[in-house]
Chain A
């Protein structure tokens, strides 16, 4: 072989080796989520649901090897931004996900999408990013925040409650969630009370509620606040007199364990329950219980769906992320079996899906939710019209 030929052969060998190594390099996915603080279990569930999908395929999603990196944002917007930047700059990650809280999302997402990185939300989906703030690099796989309240507003109207008393903490998410409820509730608002964020004792508010004599109560009190309110509400003897409604955020299995019997019978709105009757969901719930020895919450289902969606997109582009436009198109096509059954993306890349009302019931020695009614089919969020993509 002449010198030129052997050099050519060498170059070819190196090129092939490089291409081989590069193709075999797993796709990096960065997860910024909340693993500490009292709300840490939300991030844990998203992570565990996501990981379940990867483990089921032996370290792959859609047949492509993936490398999931998880970091804790501690519920702090600043820290979330730092972690996202590190993922993008140091680890050259092209796919980010995982944020639990809307205030962290508002700090991280606008920055991320400008860097040609795709963000898929497994939980937080604030209205600002669904309407005029929408972006082709931003997808929400869970819902749009208001959806969960809208479905309750619709159901409360349908059930014929003439007046409703509203309760939420005095911060932007509190106001948003009550606005979502009011968008679909057509009756009279008997009272709209904003409590202090982190308040523990609701005796004063419950007394005022009792005096106002509403026909129902709708509240958005996430985490410990909701636990306190429900327990005190039951102790005041009101559980049987004035029915309580809320979004699923206050009725996941871990909160129910802390509240106990005080939450029995409460109807809440969600896009998912463990008893939804489709094959994807049945195998998900069984696999999750086997892997983690607990019932999945809606956060786990969201993590799982996000992973499987990414898998379907990776499969269709064969793991080659050099063409991000093709990846985004594949994501938007949403060709995967969601545990929610019906799932597709709207123009603002938020889900168009069915929404349900479920009721808290006893289950074994714990509590869980049982689907009562499908209230919305193929529900589009209220901000899609404002999105100009």
Chain B
């Protein structure tokens, strides 16, 4: 029982990290209709800048505060310099261009920071574990990640529901031609959305830094999960991103945690282990296929 609760928390933590990544990506895909494979690079930039500043100043918070604008500015620079030329192009061209960006950013981090992974410490006020229930010991930092993710979800909801900019973004996701025709400065809006998405990815990166190794190419594995999330949640919808992220985080974690055990009960052989391990890594893709069969446009698609 305690184990299930702990794994649920793990799933929630992964889900929240995926939400931070996918919120930006789904908006970019939905509003600007651009496939951005380099989204994982903003995650990586956030982690690298955060790790470097934290190491220099000794303060995690300063690292965090430095990483956010760094990722956001990188995002806006990429939008102005590269994406403006890609809006009218074919999706394949966008894939090729952003794939090139991935390699560019990976090599850039290797040139600036070297090939070795960077070391990022959990801040002292968030270190150690806490006993939530008798027997349920959970690291404080991971609880902090969950808290930050939920706070961002709340902030995004407030922004979309209550502010003018949020309304323009929602309208842009629904029908961008009409929004442009209504006189909104669509170019500035795009840059802003892109920067926001990159900033959220950078936040995910700097929060992941103390848990995972900060290294060149760290954005790729989470990017794949992120794409699965936005396809499940529905392109262009932040609500869909939240639902999809939590679903994917839970299924992936619980699958990895419990499938091998279940298999061993049923099959009772060495082959069960290999089969279970493979099935566990496939579980989120099976989930995606199942959801697409049921709802081809995702759980909460934004209307276009």
Contacts and interface: CB of A to CB of B under 8 A. Distances in A.
Interface string B56-97: 000000000000000000000000000000000000000000
Interface string B132-167: 000001010110000000000000000000000000
- Output the residue of B116, B128, B254 with the most chain A CB within 10 A: B116
Contact of B141 (A170, A235, A254): A235
Contact of B277 (A196, A208, A228, A236): A196
Interface string B104-143: 0000000000011111011000011100000001010110
A15 interface: no
Contact of B213 (A204, A205, A228, A237): A228
Interface stretch (A72-80, A104-112, A157-165, A255-263): A255-263
Contacts of B273: 192, 194
Minimum-distance CB pairs A-B, first 5 = A203-B10, A237-B129, A258-B117, A204-B257, A227-B213
B129 A200 contact: no
A260 B119 CA distance: 7
Given A41-B115, A224-B117, A228-B211, A207 B141 contact: no
A193 B256 CA distance: 10
A203 B13 contact: yes
A187 interface: no
A208 B257 contact: yes
Contacts of A211: 2-3
A254 B139 contact: no
Contacts of B222: 200
Interface residues of B, number: 42
A80 to B, nearest CB: 19
Contacts of A57: none
Contact of A257 (B116, B122, B129, B281): B116
Given A38-B215, A38-B216, A258 B119 contact: yes
A43 B105 CA distance: 23
Q: Is the interface of A mostly helix, strand, loop or mixed?
A: helix
Interface of A: 38, 40-41, 170, 192-196, 198-201, 203-205, 207-208, 210-211, 224, 227-228, 231-232, 235-237, 254, 257-260
Given A170-B278, A198-B221, A205-B256, A235 B211 contact: yes
The winner among A203, A224, A254 for most chain B CB atoms within 10 A is: A203
5 contacts: A204-B257, A211-B3, A236-B129, A237-B139, A257-B116
Given A211-B3, A236-B139, A258-B117, A170 B212 contact: no
Interface of B: 2-3, 6-7, 10, 13-14, 115-119, 121-122, 127-129, 137, 139, 141-142, 210-213, 215-218, 221-222, 253-254, 256-257, 260, 273-274, 277-278, 280-281
Contacts of B256: 195, 204-205
Dominant SS among interface residues on chain B: helix
Nearest to B211: A232
A237 B212 contact: no
A227 B117 contact: yes
A257 B217 CA distance: 19
Contact of B253 (A41, A204, A224, A260): A204
Contacts of A38: 115, 117, 215-217
Contacts, number: 95
Given A208-B3, A208-B257, A211-B2, A228 B139 contact: no
Given A170-B278, A237-B128, A258-B117, A207 B213 contact: no
Contacts of B213: 200, 224, 227-228, 231, 258
A260 B216 CA distance: 19
Contacts of B14: 201, 203
Contacts of B10: 203-204, 207
A170 B116 contact: no
A257 B222 CA distance: 24
Nearest to A256: B119
A11 B180 CA distance: 90
Nearest to B130: A237
A41 B115 CA distance: 8
A261 B301 CA distance: 46
Name which of B10, B117, B118 has the most chain A CB atoms within 10 A of its CB: B117
A235 B221 contact: no
Contacts of B117: 38, 224, 227, 258
Contacts of B129: 235-237
A224 B208 CA distance: 14
Contacts of A257: 116, 119
Contacts of B116: 41, 254, 257-258
A294 to B, nearest CB: 11
Given A170-B274, A193-B260, A200-B212, 10 more contacts: A194-B273, A203-B10, A205-B256, A208-B7, A208-B257, A228-B213, A235-B142, A237-B129, A257-B119, A260-B121
Contacts of B280: 196
Contacts of A198: 221
A211 B7 CA distance: 11
A72 B210 CA distance: 32
Contacts of A170: 274, 277-278
A193 B274 CA distance: 9
B193 to A, nearest CB: 28
B212 A228 contact: yes
A208 B264 CA distance: 15
Contact of A200 (B6, B121, B216, B218): B218
A224 B210 CA distance: 13
Contacts of A207: 3, 6-7, 10, 257
